[in-house]
Amino acid sequence: MQFQNTLDFMSQMKDTSSVLDKVALLEATDDVTRQVLFWTYNPYKQFHVGVDNLKKRKDLTADTCDYEDLFDLLAALDAREITGHEALAQTNAFIRDNPAIEEMVYLIFDRNLKIRASEKLINRACDNLIPTFDVALANSYDEKTAKKVDFENQVWVVSRKLDGVRCLVMVDENGHATSWARSGKQFQTLRKVEEEIEALGVTNVVYDGEMCLVDEHGNEDFQSMMKQIRRKDHTVENGLFQIFDMIDLPDFQSGVSEDGFLTRLGRLADTLRGADHKHLAILGQQRLTDHEDFQKWRQEAQDAGWEGLMLRLDTTYKGKRSKDILKVKTMHDAEYRVEGTAFGPFRYVKDGKEVEEQMLSAVFVKHKGNTVRVGSGFTIEQRQHFMNHPEDIMNKVITVQYFEESQNQDGEYSLRFPVMKVIDGDERTGE
C-alpha cells in the first residue's frame, strides 16, 4: 500500500516521547510521508471541507471518485476546482474507495496527524518542509526601547491600541480571501469580512489588522469577539476589521518587504477609497513630531481609558517581532495559573429584576509569591458554570489585565484593578 510507511511512521511517532527519536524518524521519512506532512501542516494549503461535514454527510458520496491519488484530490480542493457538495461527494468517495487510510485522511483535514511534533521540529528534521506563517509582532515600549526612539529624526506614527483579535486576511491570485490568526490558524467565521475584501478586486495581498466588536461608544468588546470568532458553524455578522497594514502576498510569505510602512498605508487607503464598507475600516494613524507630542498621546490614552498605543516606524515589513513596532500600554497584562477559587452570593439583573445566586465570586493567583484575588472580568455564564464545575478553572492559565503593580508596607507585591481577560484555551491574538 502506498501509505503503509506513513501509517507506520505515525504509529512510531505516537509511541515515543523522545525528541531525538522523533527527529530520527522524521529524517528517515520517504517522499510520500513528507507529502502527507506538507499537506497537513502547510498553513497556505486549504481544503475548504471540514471533517464534521464529511462524517455528517456520508450520504453525499459520488458513485465514482475522479481522484485516484490523495494528493491530486487535496490539490483540487485547495485550488477550489471542486467546492460545496461536489467537494464533499468526491472526498467521501475517495475515503470509501480507500478505507485503510480513512482515519489518516480525517487527520490531514483536521491539520493534526497526532504525532506530537511541532512544525518547528518537522522543519528541523526535514529541511524546512513546512512554510512558516510569520507575522510582524511588537515589542514593548520601555526604558530600554525608548532610548532608540528618535521622533525628530525618524518617522514614527501612532495609533490607538485596539482590544480586538489580531487577524490577517490573505487574498490569493484568484481573488479568494481567507482569514487567519497570528498563529497561522484559519478563522472559519469571518465570511462577511472576506466577501467585502474580495469585492475590492485586489489579488496577491495580505491585509493585517484586528477584528473587533464595537459598541455605540466606540469601545471594543474583546470577550464577545473571542466567543464569536471561534464558534463552530457560525458567521460573525457585526464584526469590524480595522486594518493597519497591507503587504504583497509574496513579501508576506518571504517575511520582508521593501516598501516602507507609509507607502503600504497609502496603497491601503487607495484600495478602500470610494466605497462604503460595513465590515472594513482603516485604523487611524498620525505622525509624531517630537517627544512632547508623544506624551500628549499617552495622556490622552490614559484619560480615555484606552488599552494603550501602537508606535510604528516608517520602514520595511518584517515578519517577526521587532523594535520597528512598539506597544505602549496604559494597562498591563500577564498570565497566571489559578490556585484557588471563592464562591458566594452574587447579585445581577435577570429579566429586569435584581436576583442573588450562589456562584463563582473570584479566583486566586500568585504574583511574585503573593496571593492576588481576581474577581472581575467573568461573565454571569462563566460564574455559574464554575460554581458547578470548579475543575474547569482550577489550575488553568488565565490572562489578567491590571493597571499597575502595587506594594504594601510589608514589601509584598499585588496588582491594582486586576481583571480576568482570557481563560486557558482562549488564545490572546492581539499585539
Q: What is the mean pLDDT of residues 362-377?
A: 94
Domains of the chain, residue spans: 4-125, 137-330, 333-423
* Domain 137-330 and domain 333-423 have a common topology: no
261 pLDDT band (50/70/90 cuts)?
very high
- Output DSSP code: residue 410: T
Residue in this structure with the C-alpha cell 478505507, named with its chain if needed: 99
CA–CA distance, 287 with 394 (Å, rounded to integer) = 46
* pLDDT > 90: percent of the chain: 70
> Which pLDDT belongs to residue 218?
65
The region, left, alpha or beta by phi > 0 then psi within -120 to 50, assigned to residue 320 is beta
**So what's the pLDDT on residue 431?**
53
CATH architecture of the domain formed by 137-330:
2-Layer Sandwich (3.30)
- Label residue 426 by pLDDT band (50, 70, 90): very low
User: Is 330:158 a contact under the CB 8 Å cutoff?
Assistant: no
pLDDT tens-digit profile of 370-412? 999 999 889 999 999 999 999 999 999 999 988 778 888 788 8
pLDDT tops 70 at residue 83: yes
Mean pLDDT computed over 269-295? 92
Q: What is the CATH code of the structural domain delimited by 333-423? A: 2.40.50.140
| 230 has a pLDDT exceeding 90 | no
Region 359-377: what's the mean pLDDT?
94
318, with CB counted inside 10 A (0-12, 13-18, 19+), is: middle
For the stretch 175-202, pLDDT in tens is: 999 999 998 888 989 999 999 999 999 9
- Give CA separation, 143 vs 139, 272, 325, in Å: 12, 37, 15
Q: What are the residue ranges of helices labelled H in 28-142?
A: 31-41, 51-56, 70-78, 84-97, 102-109, 119-125
pLDDT of the residue at 423: 87
Is 60 exceeded by the pLDDT of residue 428? no
The mean pLDDT value of the chain amounts to 91
Q: What is the mean pLDDT of residues 30-54?
A: 93
